[in-house]
Amino acid sequence: MVFLHHVKASKRAEYERWFAEVWAPALRAVAEKRPSARRQLMAERDLRPMQATESGDHIYAYLYDPWVTDPGASKRGFPDALLIEAGRSAEDAKMQADVYRSLVVRDEGYMFVQKQF
């Protein structure tokens, strides 16, 4: 699984700060509670862009190999549900989700399978 976050250059520092101060600690907190989330976190690789795209966006890539199907994950929505599971109040999770949405121009997710060529 690959997730791509397109971030405007003017929001790049704020996005990285939000990721380090809000999202990464939430991921670790949930991984402490749920073995499937722990396996998912161990399979994650975070890739930071070296340059902007032609449109000026910076694309952050998050690779999960292998993708761990997580039966304990909430279907309530990203990123709110994980923030709540990590211990934030619903109100704070919504506020942080709004911050995330103000920083990311577009987010995408793609599933791949490995193939021998």
Does residue 14 form part of some domain? yes
pLDDT for residue 70: 61
Q: What is the average pLDDT score of the chain?
A: 88
Does residue 91 form part of some domain? yes
Question: For residue 25, is the peptide bond before it cis, meaning its omega torsion is within 30 degrees of 0?
Answer: no
Does residue 115 form part of some domain? no
Dihedral, CA atoms, 24, 3, 5, 82, nearest 10 degrees? -40
* Mean pLDDT, residues 45-57: 94
* Mean pLDDT, residues 6-18: 96
Q: Please state, in angstroms and as integers, the Cα–Cα distance from residue 61 to each residue in 2, 21, 45, 49, 94, following that order.
A: 7, 18, 8, 8, 23
Give percent of the chain above pLDDT 70: 92
Give the confidence band of 34 by pLDDT, cuts at 50, 70, 90: confident
What's the CATH number where 42 sits? 3.30.70
Does residue 116 form part of some domain? no
Does residue 75 form part of some domain? yes
Instruction: Report the domain count for the chain.
Output: 1
pTM > 0.75: yes or no: yes
